[in-house]
Structure 1
């Protein structure tokens, strides 16, 4: 059923469809990565500013910690809106094609980020300012909810099935690259202006740069055609009338298992990349440059690590790499706060970098795992919805907010560590069930 349909489609495609030449596959790889890199540049610029300045600029009538809570609430809006983007763009991706939808999501994300750069603060226009910020954040999340699956499918459906792990990892390298770019831009701006200038206008510059980067991304993607698998689906007349409805009616279990794969990695990422900023600057009183440097180094190393883990998955299996990463994340979580509390720059860089490489081992194979759960005719919808709903249901959407509340309530990092470990356990359970489920399907189909 799930895997049988996918395998038959793959075997038919291998028998009838010519493969793109190697230079074309390099173009596909770059086009797959560039979109998610730009999307995550936009998203991480917002995440960083939410931790550093938005609490004061847009929610100034509160204490610093409460202001940060409110800023993280708008961060959560970007996650809550992702499933809506997954439904809308997933349906369009299975009906109109992967390439068309990827153009729409990139334009929407770039426009929203550019408008944030021009948004007046609370002091200038009062309550309208945070309201517009929330609205722009909403549309950012919708765009990102539709981008991920298309970017992964661009690599998977253009490439060879026996190298599915590597090809799916191309899009997964984008968030690391986007994080590097956002961290570097913010660090450069922060180094070139005073604290007062950064609060006044310097924070706007990274957002303004997004418009230029979006144009570059559109130019790169323009040279990549529709995926051969979708073209074959279109010519065969096998497209379903309502992919989303078909997904929920006939592939609910695959949807649940794919969604569970998101929970642990998402919470770990929120701890390392988002909450770490607040903890380092507001709790430990460290300079912004310490944690930004750690994020920059970790994100830079996670990009080649992602490609390496994707290639490894083609040799030893997707689930093996995924589950190893989940197990390795537990000691990272346990050591994170004790090492952060030392205040030593080198130690902080080491734990954040190590954590992001462990995260890369899971994130590299996530695309291969999720897309394998669904047949071609609903693959965009299934991948988008499971990816976005998994993050929302598992707490990834609210993870920084939950962590901030836990610390504010208990004054202890121990509860945060328990929360992150529990999220890891849920994903481990989902992968274990998925192994049994797919093995049973393979056995049933063989007989």
Structure 2
């Protein structure tokens, strides 16, 4: 092959003004570097694959971490909408790990459903109140059946007719129970979409209205079906629930006015700031509980921001661990690529001398070896991306509700990491190759 003095590419006329242009020279260098890199990869397949192993692991790890964090973000946003951004939950226990202080919380007095009525009176008497409505809820678990089909440990919510005004899930078919049905304790039930699928497989929501189901061997009439909501972070389903009147639950399941599972759901007006609403709830609830000035609150005002405060450190921990693993893997990969590039330069010293002797520029030699290093890293990046995609498919099979997904940004990140690693690890060997003197290189044994 004949190399030109101007570009080191074959069959190029150095007197051609187009060939002498910087853009044309760069194009020729890149084309020739790509050809030589391809030849080297084909000639040393196993060596190239082993060299790229660190990059493969690094890209694989960073993509999986990105997929996981994206899934957490998506699941968290969906879950916030299920909890309600403008909803507060007044309960005995906080939505956080209380550690050894659990005894303090367990000793708090149980809630009574009448607290909701008293809170509503205070809200109505407060000028320019930022709160809209307080609704009592009692949560418990029971099995539910219909014919030959049954499902266990369903989350039941016993509440009043006002719950239909504040529930975050709309009614897909049917209706909510009325105030008369709630106060008289009628045996009516509203099913979540998950319960519907378990008890009436293959039937649509409209077709089950008016049918009977059994809750702890007691007949209930289905009057409504909730829209599908999904699962909290893809794990705990919001669709495996049912809603019945509070009066009915008192007759058959929870008994009395006091129950350990009672909580009060308070909804604020959209324009009211969260902290302003929280302060108003605390003041009103202290009046309801008869607390004196200086006494600690014996209740907790929970909201979706408590979940955010819990999930935030988890996401940060995953990100830090992932980036540490990625950084170590890429560092090891970069050292391996740098080492193999040094070996390649040494093996081809005579070739470099020959090319320099016939007029190849230093930049052409630099581009060639840099391109080879980047090619190995890109190969590793593509393999890592493929492995991450396969891992994501496996995750979908084991956790189908977890909202994990690829994104263009993650793919761009994989390519960027690969190219950057190739440039950083290959630059020094490529620079040394470009500085070799032709005479010394040709005498190299």
In which range does the TM-score fall when normalised by the shorter chain? under 0.3
* TM-score normalized with structure 1 length: 0.21
* TM-score normalized with structure 2 length: 0.21
Structure showing the higher strand proportion among its residues: 2
Structure showing the higher helix proportion among its residues: 1
The structure number with the bigger radius of gyration is 2
